[in-house]
Chain A
Amino acid sequence: MTPTISVQQLSKTYEVPEREGGFSAAVRSFFKRKYKDVKAVQEVNFNIEQGEVVGFLGPNGAGKTTTLKMLSGLLHPTSGTANVLGFTPWELKNDYLRSMTLVMGQRNRLSWDIPAADSFLLNQAIYRIPDDEYKETYKELDELLELEPLMKKPVRNLSLGERMKCEIAVGLLHRPKVLFLDEPTIGLDITGQARIREFLQEYNKRTGATIILTSHYMADVTALCERIIIIHHGQLKYDGGINDLSKKIAPFKLIGVLMENADAHDLSQYGEPVENMEDADKKFIQVKADEVTRITSRLLADLPIRDITIADPPIEDVIEQAFNA
Chain B
Amino acid sequence: MFLIFKRLWQVNWAEQWQYRANLLMYLLYWLVSPIIYLAVWTSIATANGDVKGFTANDFITYYMVLLICDQVTSNIVIHTFGYKIQDGSLSGELIKPIHPMLTNALVNNVAFKILTMFGLTPIWIILFFLFQPDFSSVTLTGILLAIPAMMLAFLIGYFQSAAITALAFWTTRVYSIHEFYFALILLFSGQFVPLPLMPQLIQDIAQYLPFQLMLYYPIQLILGNLSTEQIIQGYVMTGVWLVISWLIFNWVWRKGVKKYSAVGA
Which positions in A face B, CB cutoff 8 Å? 14-15, 66, 69, 72-76, 90, 92, 94-95, 97-98, 102, 104, 107-109, 111, 113-114, 118-119, 121-122, 124-127
Contacts and interface: CB of A to CB of B under 8 A. Distances in A.
A102 B94 CA distance: 11
Interface in B1-49: 3-4, 6-8, 10-11, 14-15, 18-19
A102 B15 contact: no
B262 A74 contact: no
A313 B8 CA distance: 48
A114 B7 contact: no
A125 B264 CA distance: 29
A95 B18 CA distance: 34
Given A76-B261, A125-B4, A125-B6, A111 B95 contact: no
B97 A102 contact: no
A305 to B, nearest CB: 48
Nearest to A69: B265
Given A98-B97, A107-B92, A118-B10, 6 more contacts: A75-B262, A76-B258, A118-B11, A121-B7, A126-B4, A126-B96
A291 B94 CA distance: 52
A184 B8 CA distance: 27
B90 to A, nearest CB: 10
B205 interface: no
Nearest to A180: B95
Given A14-B263, A107-B89, A125-B7, A113 B18 contact: yes
Contacts of B97: 94-95, 97-98, 126-127
Interface SS of chain A: mixed
B18 A74 contact: no
Nearest to B15: A113
- Counting from the closest, the 9 A-B pairs by CB-CB distance are A94-B97, A97-B97, A74-B265, A125-B7, A108-B92, A122-B7, A125-B3, A125-B4, A113-B18
B91 A104 contact: yes
B95 A118 contact: no
Interface in B73-130: 89, 91-92, 94-98
The winner among B15, B89, B258, B264 for most chain A CB atoms within 10 A is: B264
A75 B94 CA distance: 11
Contact of B92 (A15, A95, A109): A109
A132 to B, nearest CB: 15
Interface size class of B (residues with CB under 8 A): 20 to 34
Nearest to B8: A122
28 contacts: A66-B264, A69-B265, A72-B95, A73-B261, A74-B91, A74-B94, A75-B261, A76-B262, A92-B94, A92-B95, A97-B95, A97-B96, A97-B97, A104-B91, A107-B89, A108-B92, A113-B14, A114-B11, A114-B14, A114-B15, A118-B7, A118-B10, A118-B14, A122-B4, A124-B7, A125-B7, A126-B96, A126-B97
A92 B97 CA distance: 8
Given A111-B15, A127-B97, A104 B263 contact: no
A97 B98 CA distance: 9
B98 A126 contact: yes
Contacts of A126: 4, 7, 96-98
| Centre residue among A66, A74, A95, A107 by max chain B CB count within 10 A | A74
A244 to B, nearest CB: 33
Contact of B11 (A74, A75, A95, A119): A119
A76 B8 CA distance: 29
Nearest to B3: A125
B95 A73 contact: yes
Contacts of B6: 125
A85 to B, nearest CB: 14
A72 B262 CA distance: 14
A122 B94 contact: no
Nearest to B264: A14
Most buried by A among B11, B15, B19, B258: B11
A73 B97 CA distance: 12
Contacts of B261: 73-76, 90
Nearest to A101: B95
A124 B89 CA distance: 21
A101 B232 CA distance: 49
B93 to A, nearest CB: 9
A25 B87 CA distance: 26
Most chain A CB neighbours (cut-off 10 Å) among B6, B18, B91? B91
Contacts of B98: 126
Contacts of B263: 14-15
